[in-house]
């Protein structure tokens, strides 16, 4: 993986902006600590920061190719999982290759297929290609949105980058929040509206989108979208195809020229990836695989069962380690350091995020990076295959709202009276906009129709929030994390699978359980869904409370928005929070942590509010 950025401005001289371009590049150093490069051509500049994973010598960027008197230049962030097949297709058409990097394959695929190129790609990526003849710029983001691509368009110019901080470093983009941005932060966060970059004027290509910048104008186009189709496979065929698609996705993603490991939580999703990888390594004599799990200091002492978290992970992790014969490492996180890492996780995202769920991943990835450069992880199975409780509780399922944030009461509670008085209306419209996009068939039952809406809600909101977390918190330490469940073929198949098959046996992710039950210990294959581990240690709440009390003594843009007495009541009576802020586990400690992140973000980014 890498970091990319670029700037095109009609009539400008980019050689005069080398210092600014270097500053933009430096903001992405953590994404690409191994190499860097800047390409300048008149009014255009392309920036690349590289994390070397495949073909060190022949994968250097920015990469240029001259074809039929036209020079094409690419900056690319990602991994392509059908590299060899596409390379052979291009070779048959007369293209030659100097190495085995996927960057060269993507560039030559663009030269051959133009804007149809992305349809050929199976992978996670964001890239830009500059055509020196017509001086056009092509931007593209992968089908599922695993890799980010932000941009800012202004009169006569366009700036883009893997992260918002690269845009801010240009000096053109300002850290301004208008009413929309504030509504995003206070009423939707840590999720955000598709394409919205929160800062005024900052946008992001959606999953499955590309764009051309020509003659001072950006034109966006959807090249991939989820479509409603009749599911014609039998139960047995559905089980078999689910297994084939996921197995193929995992095996495709085991290619790397640098050391690779696996995340292991003891849950269904990571266990499938670990066992499948272990079997593949054994069959191909590739050696033992290595796994990592995360836990919090003294968590066993303080763990409390709940509807959402019925049992702890550690016994299942060790069961899976024995089953897959992995070299296992356990990372134990200190609760005070977890609170300290909230600040770094804000700087990784450029936005307030998923608080300790972010900061724990950031610390976890930091430890893994000491020995590995690439990891595989089990994100996104829950969104695609109905893993969350809100898919299975009929009252919540048919409630006309975001199921992970059913009430804005706690969000309204912490704000002063009269602040963002249209916040609830804003959330409602975002919800309606999303469900209106879900394609359906006339034959869909009421349940299957709602499940299509739920799929879109989860795909464009909850899943994108988790993918953003995974990308920023891992790349902050220069660790590439691949997510096999995000293979677009699996996403398409899951969308059109009837609920009675998806929830095979009446269970969350039932079809996935059935498809892989023969290679997993029974206890894991049919284990009740358990979310990403959180800390139960009271030390963490105490740390957050102490820091929030200090924030409330300040007078700044944030505290002018907050109802201090309301926030203090959360500190004094954390058990009063019954509805989570977001998801399943964001209650009192996490609400306080979100305020800590907001405070750091307002200060660090020098946020200016413009209403």
Angle at 47 between CA 41 and CA 50, to 5 degrees: 140
Burial class of residue 495 in the structure, from the number of CB atoms within 10 Å of its CB (0-12 exposed, 13-18 middle, 19+ buried): buried
Closest to 267 measured CA to CA, from 520, 594, 43, 543: 520
Give the pLDDT score at 310: 56
d(CA 204, CA 49): 20
Of all helices (H) and strands (E), which one includes residue 194? none
Is 198:163 a contact under the CB 8 Å cutoff? no
In angstroms, the CA 129 to CA 210 distance is 11
Judged by phi (left if over 0) then psi (alpha if -120 to 50, else beta), residue 134 lies in alpha
Distance CA 158, CA 38 (A): 17
Q: Write down the pLDDT at residue 301.
A: 65
Residue 566, both tokens:
């309301």
d(CA 519, CA 515): 9
Distance of CA 136 to the CA centre of its chain: 29
Burial of residue 501, with CB atoms counted within 10 A of its CB: 0-12 exposed, 13-18 middle, 19 or more buried: middle
What pTM value is reported for the model?
0.96
Which residues in 10-149 belong to E strands, given as ranges? 35-41, 44-50, 63-67, 70-80, 123-131, 136-141
Cβ neighbours of residue 89 under 8 Å, at least 6 residues apart? none
Q: Are strands 608-609 and 374-376 parallel, antiparallel or unpaired?
A: unpaired
486 as an active site residue: the answer is no
CA atoms within 13 A on the CB side of 171: 6
Quick one: tokens of 382?
């829950």
Counting as low any pLDDT under 70, the low residues of the chain are 1, 301-312, 531
Token reading at 535: 């800390």
Q: Which two tokens stand for residue 227?
A: 């479509």
Q: What is the pLDDT of residue 256?
A: 85
């Amino acid at each position: 993986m890498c970091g990319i950025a670029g700037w095109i401005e009609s009539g400008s001289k980019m050689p005069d902006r080398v210092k600014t371009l270097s500053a933009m590049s430096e903001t992405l150093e953590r994404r690409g600590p191994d190499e860097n490069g800047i390409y300048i051509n008149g009014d255009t500049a392309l920036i690349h920061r590289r994390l070397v994973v495949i073909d060190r010598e022949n994968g250097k960027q920015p990469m240029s190719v001259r074809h039929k008197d036209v020079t094409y230049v690419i900056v690319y962030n990602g991994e392509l999982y059908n590299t060899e097949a596409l390379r052979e297709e291009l070779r048959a058409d007369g293209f030659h290759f100097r190495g085995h990097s996927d960057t060269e394959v993507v560039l030559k695929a663009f030269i051959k297929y133009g804007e149809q190129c992305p349809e050929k790609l199976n992978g996670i990526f964001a890239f830009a290609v500059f055509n020196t003849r017509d001086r056009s710029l092509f931007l593209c983001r992968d089908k599922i949105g695993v890799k980010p691509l932000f941009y800012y368009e202004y009169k006569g110019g366009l700036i883009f980058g893997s992260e918002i901080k690269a845009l801010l470093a240009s000096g053109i983009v300002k850290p301004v929040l208008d009413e929309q941005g504030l509504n995003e932060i206070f009423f939707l966060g840590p999720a955000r509206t598709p394409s919205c970059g929160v800062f005024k004027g900052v946008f992001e290509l959606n999953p499955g989108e590309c764009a051309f910048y020509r003659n001072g104008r950006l034109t966006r186009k959807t090249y991939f979208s989820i479509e409603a189709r009749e599911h014609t496979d039998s139960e047995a065929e559905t089980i078999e195809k689910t297994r084939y698609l996921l197995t193929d996705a995992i095996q495709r993603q085991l290619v790397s020229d640098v050391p690779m490991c696996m995340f292991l939580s003891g849950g269904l999703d990571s266990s499938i990836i670990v066992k499948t990888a272990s079997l593949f390594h054994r069959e191909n004599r590739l050696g033992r695989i290595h796994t990592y799990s995360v836990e919090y200091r003294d968590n066993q002492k303080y763990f409390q069962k709940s509807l959402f978290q019925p049992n702890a992970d550690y016994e299942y992790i060790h069961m899976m380690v024995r089953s897959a014969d992995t070299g296992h490492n356990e990372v134990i996180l200190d609760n005070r350091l977890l609170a300290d890492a909230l600040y770094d996780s804000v700087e990784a995202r450029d936005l307030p995020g998923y608080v300790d769920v972010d900061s724990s991943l950031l610390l976890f990835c930091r430890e893994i990076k000491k020995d590995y450069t690439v990891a595989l992880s089990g994100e996104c199975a829950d969104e695609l295959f109905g893993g969350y409780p809100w898919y299975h509780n009929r009252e919540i399922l048919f409630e006309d709202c975001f199921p992970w944030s059913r009430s804005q009461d706690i969000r309204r509670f912490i704000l002063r009276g009269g602040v963002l008085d249209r916040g609830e209306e804003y959330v409602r419209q975002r919800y309606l906009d999303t469900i209106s996009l879900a394609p359906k068939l006339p034959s869909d039952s009421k349940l299957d129709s709602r499940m299509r809406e739920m799929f879109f809600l989860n795909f464009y909101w909850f899943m994108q929030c988790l993918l953003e977390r995974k990308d920023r918190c891992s790349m902050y330490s220069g660790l590439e994390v691949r997510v096999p469940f995000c293979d677009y073929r699996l996403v398409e198949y899951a969308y059109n699978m009837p609920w009675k098959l998806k929830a095979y046996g009446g269970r969350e992710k039932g079809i996935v359980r059935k498809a892989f039950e023969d290679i997993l210990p029974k206890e894991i294959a049919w284990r009740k869904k358990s979310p990403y581990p959180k800390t139960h240690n009271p030390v963490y709440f105490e740390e957050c409370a102490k820091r929030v009390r200090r924030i409330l003594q300040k007078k700044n843009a944030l505290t002018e928005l907050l109802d201090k007495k309301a926030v203090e009541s959360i500190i004094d009576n954390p058990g009063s929070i019954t509805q989570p802020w977001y998801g399943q586990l964001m209650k009192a400690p996490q609400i306080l942590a979100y305020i800590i992140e907001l405070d750091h973000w307002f200060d660090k980014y020098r946020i200016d509010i413009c209403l």
